[in-house]
Amino acid sequence: MSTLILSNYRCGTTFYGKNYAEENNLVFLDEMFHESFNKKQLQTQWRRFNQENCVAKIFPTHVLPEYEYTQVEYHKLLKPKKVIVIKRENVLEQVKSFIVAKKLQEECNINWHQQFKDLKTIKVSHHYFEFWFQRIVKQNQQIQELADFFKVPTETVWYESFATKRHRYKRPVELIVFN
């Protein structure tokens, strides 16, 4: 029985997915349709998901044709028994976290899950911040549309209900948004 996690970036899906897989004796496939995968890897992922007891996560950017990374709408081939939608109540904090993770990777070669101790300062324009805010809000809306597509039992889980301060990344970062 495979479970699909639908979410967006910076909603704790890696932490949640690993724990869910362990608690339910499932294989965790992580980001099933990651933009770095080639066509063969993508095909292997969806076949594995449908044939094994797995939990995997997908984001709108992985499967909807309007995004630059989507090669094929593979989500239409998935047959989950359950869908879990993970959302954040505080979208502003989600956007800040996304921008920080993106910029840390681009400017400091620090991956999205890496922790560190030294303070990093990230500076972005208001225009840049607004672009990502609008895009993430739109993607958050698309998550529910994706969930409705599968027509299986769906559970909504809020990031704030499981991501306590103890479980969050410890990354000292100052985000400065300028005009």
pLDDT value at residue 135: 94
pLDDT value at residue 81: 95
Who has greater pLDDT, 36 or 45? Answer: 45
Element (H, E) at 103: helix 91-108
Ramachandran angles phi, psi of 75, nearest 5°: -60, -25
- Give the SS3 label for residue 25: coil
Supply the DSSP string of 127-139, one letter for each residue.
HHHHHHHHHHHHH
pLDDT value at residue 102: 94
CA distance 3 to 17: 10
The structural domains of the chain, with segments of one domain joined by +, span 3-178
Q: What percentage of the chain carries pLDDT values higher than 90?
A: 65
pLDDT value at residue 164: 79
Statement: the pTM of the whole predicted model exceeds 0.85: yes
pLDDT value at residue 61: 81
pLDDT value at residue 71: 54
pLDDT tens-digit readout, 77-89? 899 999 999 999 9
pLDDT tens-digit readout, 16-35? 999 999 999 999 999 888 77
CA 21 from chain centre, in angstroms, equals 16
Q: Is 66 exposed, middle or buried (0-12, 13-18, 19+ CB in 10 A)?
A: exposed
Q: Looking at the domain that runs over 3-178, which CATH code has it been given?
A: 3.40.50
